[in-house]
Amino acid sequence: MSETSVREAEIAVEQKHVDVVYTRVAEMRGEAEAMRDRGDELAHGARNEAVFEQAAMLFERDVMVRHANQILRSLDAEHEGLVFGRLDTTDTETMYVGRLGVRDSEFDNLVTDWRAPAAAPFYQATAEQPMGVIRRRVIRSTGQSVVDIDDDLLMPEARQETMPVVGEGALIASLTRARGENMRDIVATIQKEQDEAIRAPWRGVTEITGGPGTGKTAVALHRVAYLLYRDRRRMGGAGVLVVGPSPAFTSYISRVLPSMGEDTVELRSLSDLLDGVKATRTDPGPVAAVKGSLRMRRVLKKAIREAPADAPTELRIVYHGEVLKLDARELARVRASVHNGRRPPNQSRVDAAEALLEALWRKAESYEDFPVKRAELITELGERIDFHRFVVVWWQLLTPGEVLRGLSDRRRLARTAGRGLTRAEVDLLADSWADPEAGFTVADVALLDELRVLLGRPPRRRHRSRDNQLPPPREDYDEYSHIVVDEAQDLSPMQWRMVGRRGKYASWTVVGDPVQSSWPDPAEARQAQEAAFGGPRTQHRRFALRTNYRNSAEIFALAGRVVTHVATPDQLPHAVRSTGVDPLVQVCVEDELDTTALKAAADLLSEVDGTVGIITASSRLPGLRTAAEGLGEDRLRVVDGLESKGLEYDAVVLVEPGELVAESTTGPRTLYVALTRATQRLTVLTTDETWPDGR
């Protein structure tokens, strides 16, 4: 038989099994729907039962409905091939592996869930350690039709003649496919080193490091699906949070978990981790560096002790014919004493009123023959409406946003910062908050979150927010059972505090590449990170990924040449796939950079089937974005270096590497990120004839 007919015959064999599976899945769907309906009936019936029976029925109903919905969700997930693998083993067993476990009506296995221990050899068996696997087969389908198969022969000596082997490797086939709008799952081709990280126990901190394109993000997301499958009660109950660098990134990865039937996981970016705030701006590097540093904690702690700018500076009250007066210094002393108390300011207004009354009594006491006693004064003044009005404006309930905006006043900021910030830093920060219309930046979100905790939750009914950006603070942020942090190398210490607050009782998966870091003080970030994990004694597990699955070998070779001063050769992963096409480095004059970029993008759009990205310094971004819109191409994106983190395109036009480097102190690392976004084609436009070797 020719190779093609062997392949076709084998595809037909697999199609037969896949058909059986889908028939069974249709039956299971019917059973699950019936179970859900039965649950609803139970609830209905419960209303007519005695209380005791009612509770039991409602419990049963809840379990039933939840279970049925879970089954329906996984059955309805957008499967790109429900059955994707087959193992033929030495004990003559055949096992099919898929996105979901399916048994026939006799309870025999039709498909084993990829996350089940029995499926592990599908990912872990190698020619050196075959684990009894003779042939591993990846089955590729479109909808319910099998379109291709790819085999790996792991034990040639054990293979029988009736066992054909076809295909050139499923991994390479999968890596070569065009990239679309969203990241895809990799369940069919997870590699051994990745599988070990995915299946690591949930406890403590699992750190996954690796160079660009090593599948860190993919691994972290598959690990979430694995943990939810293995320990749904613990993980699902309190929830899983995945934190990524930008909304573009969370949107890019948003389909991966649902495609594995998991739609309960919360994906957030650092700019929208705090409910009610959506930061759309980023600060220039030096400003973000100050805002992210732990020194800001002290500044904020002092800021909440300051009187609001519009607070009255004198209290005058006429009582029993006398004027009782507290001047600015006396008021400041009262304010400080209330702040020294146990409660946060938004919960201290009653304490503030009491302290003022006490201070007024001390005034009254100093007058000769003052006609009333302490208790009387406190009761009477405490009930006076003018006194209440004063308290409300003098001890205002503040929102985090109000406090932060208050710091745009340079003098106030310098006073609060003391020696914690230099004058230049005070100027940078005050300028960044100067425009009240501008909205908050990504780095501000961590500061607002810090303030939320420092200020405390205002008493519910009394508080009316003057800052309509923020709803009253939530206090249930610390309830997640597992937190995944992607691109962890870039979190500032203040951002680690914000994320850590949400994971007080959580286990962690932390993913990053130290070489791609754009954070200027890694030691401080490391310290904040340790604190977020619950101290240095928390159990750590480390996995290093060493194969770059994204870039062609030719593209990564260029990135490797450019990156020599930020990474040593042993830190660089190995790119497995060659396209035979070298990146194009094109020199042009400054005035023509933008037009040449658009032209290069148009060329690449015609060369690749998937997405094309133009990556540029942020100064060039608005102009290029508008110009690119003119091309009317929905496969084209324009992003700056930082935005490109974690994303990938089939082809990339990188505009003026020198500008990306010059943009910030961590420019060389940003350039490394930008150079490693393309899977197939890369064009670099530069005005520097000596690039890449000249610098």
Ligand X SMILES: Nc1ncnc2c1ncn2[C@@H]1O[C@H](COP(=O)(O)OP(=O)(O)OP(=O)(O)O)[C@@H](O)[C@H]1O
598 binds ligand X (CB under 6 A): no
From residue 691, give the alpha-carbon distance in Å to each of 583, 584, 588, 638, 666. 13, 12, 12, 22, 19
214 binds ligand X (CB under 6 A): yes
- On whether the CB atoms of residues 331 and 313 are closer than 8 A, the answer is yes
Phi, psi of 276 (to 5 degrees): 90, -10
Output 60 or 196, the one with its CB closest to ligand X. 196
648 binds ligand X (CB under 6 A): yes
Q: Which stretch binds ligand X (CB under 6 A): 109-117, 184-192, 263-271, 414-422?
A: 184-192
DSSP H/E element including 622: helix 621-629
Q: Which two tokens stand for residue 5?
A: 């007919």
> 657-686 burial string, b = 16+ CB within 10 Å, else e?
bbbbbebbebbbbbbbbbbbbbbbbbbbbb
Query: What are the residues whose beta carbons fall under 8 Å from the beta carbon of 179, sequence distance 6 or more?
Result: 610, 611, 648, 649, 650, 679
Alpha helices in 192-294 (DSSP H): 192-198, 216-230, 232-238, 247-253, 285-292
Residues 100-119 that bind ligand X (CB under 6 A): none
Residue 457: other Cβ atoms inside 10 A? 16
190 binds ligand X (CB under 6 A): yes
186 binds ligand X (CB under 6 A): yes
670 binds ligand X (CB under 6 A): no
669 binds ligand X (CB under 6 A): no
130 binds ligand X (CB under 6 A): no
From residue 378, give the alpha-carbon distance in Å to each of 120, 315, 341. 73, 15, 20
Single out the residue of 249, 4, 365, 269 nearest to residue 149, CA to CA: 4
- Give the whole-angstrom CA distance, residue 680 versus residue 550: 9
Q: Which stretch binds ligand X (CB under 6 A): 77-85, 210-218, 265-273, 375-383?
A: 210-218
217 is in an annotated binding site: yes
Cross-strand bridge partners of residue 441: 281
211 is in an annotated binding site: yes
125 binds ligand X (CB under 6 A): no
- On whether the CB atoms of residues 149 and 137 are closer than 8 A, the answer is yes
- Identified binder of ligand X from the candidate list 61, 497, 550, 669, rule CB under 6 A: 550
From residue 69, give the alpha-carbon distance in Å to each of 66, 114, 220, 495. 5, 20, 25, 36
174 binds ligand X (CB under 6 A): yes
Output 167 or 400, the one with its CB closest to ligand X. 167
Q: Which stretch binds ligand X (CB under 6 A): 190-198, 271-279, 491-499, 664-672?
A: 190-198
Q: Is 170 helix (H, G, I), strand (E, B) or coil?
A: helix
413 binds ligand X (CB under 6 A): no
> Smallest distance, Å, CB 183 to ligand X?
6
Residues 319-358 that bind ligand X (CB under 6 A): none
Q: Give the x-and-dash track for 154-173 against ligand X (CB under 6 A).
A: -----------------x--
Specify the amino acid at residue 161: E
Size of interface with ligand X, in residues (CB under 6 A): 24
Output 214 or 529, the one with its CB closest to ligand X. 214
Output 158 or 173, the one with its CB closest to ligand X. 173
- Give the whole-angstrom CA distance, residue 666 versus residue 653: 21
Q: Which two tokens stand for residue 376?
A: 């009387």
560 binds ligand X (CB under 6 A): no
Query: Given its phi and psi angles, is residue 387 left (phi above 0), alpha (psi -120 to 50 degrees) or beta?
Result: alpha
- Give the whole-angstrom CA distance, residue 118 versus residue 325: 80
Output 75 or 483, the one with its CB closest to ligand X. 483
Q: Which stretch binds ligand X (CB under 6 A): 181-189, 378-386, 440-448, 519-527?
A: 181-189
Output 217 or 432, the one with its CB closest to ligand X. 217
> Smallest distance, Å, CB 488 to ligand X?
11
Q: Is 542 helix (H, G, I), strand (E, B) or coil?
A: strand
> Smallest distance, Å, CB 406 to ligand X?
38
Query: What are the residues whose beta carbons fall under 8 Å from the beta carbon of 30, sequence distance 6 or more?
Result: none
> Smallest distance, Å, CB 224 to ligand X?
13
213 is in an annotated binding site: yes
Output 216 or 295, the one with its CB closest to ligand X. 216
- Identified binder of ligand X from the candidate list 39, 98, 210, 247, rule CB under 6 A: 210
Phi, psi of 160 (to 5 degrees): -95, 160
Output 455 or 488, the one with its CB closest to ligand X. 488
Output 271 or 596, the one with its CB closest to ligand X. 271
Output 194 or 492, the one with its CB closest to ligand X. 194
Output 215 or 503, the one with its CB closest to ligand X. 215
- Identified binder of ligand X from the candidate list 272, 513, 594, 659, rule CB under 6 A: 513
- On whether the CB atoms of residues 215 and 186 are closer than 8 A, the answer is yes
Cross-strand bridge partners of residue 544: 209
Q: What value does the CA radius of gyration of the chain take, rounded to a whole number of Å?
A: 31
214 is in an annotated binding site: yes
213 binds ligand X (CB under 6 A): yes
Output 221 or 404, the one with its CB closest to ligand X. 221
489 binds ligand X (CB under 6 A): no
250 binds ligand X (CB under 6 A): no
Q: Give the start-end residues of each E strand in 355-427.
A: none
> Smallest distance, Å, CB 156 to ligand X?
24
Q: Which stretch binds ligand X (CB under 6 A): 93-101, 128-136, 180-188, 386-394?
A: 180-188
> Smallest distance, Å, CB 26 to ligand X?
30
- Give the whole-angstrom CA distance, residue 30 versus residue 569: 56
First to last CA, the chain: 58
| Residue, CB closest to ligand X | 215
> Smallest distance, Å, CB 80 to ligand X?
12
Cross-strand bridge partners of residue 324: 317
- Identified binder of ligand X from the candidate list 206, 416, 676, 683, rule CB under 6 A: 676
DSSP state of 85: E
Cross-strand bridge partners of residue 288: none
- On whether the CB atoms of residues 492 and 446 are closer than 8 A, the answer is yes
Q: Which residue has the tokens 């209440």?
A: 388
Output 122 or 361, the one with its CB closest to ligand X. 122
577 binds ligand X (CB under 6 A): no
> Smallest distance, Å, CB 126 to ligand X?
14
- Identified binder of ligand X from the candidate list 549, 556, 649, 672, rule CB under 6 A: 549
- Give the whole-angstrom CA distance, residue 380 versus residue 357: 10
517 binds ligand X (CB under 6 A): no
534 is in an annotated binding site: no
Backbone CA torsion sign across 364, 368, 374, 376: negative
Annotated binding site: 210-217
Contact residues for ligand X, defined by CB under 6 A: 171, 174-175, 183-184, 186, 189-191, 194, 210, 212-218, 513, 549-550, 646, 648, 676
List residues forming the annotated binding site for ATP. Answer: 210-217
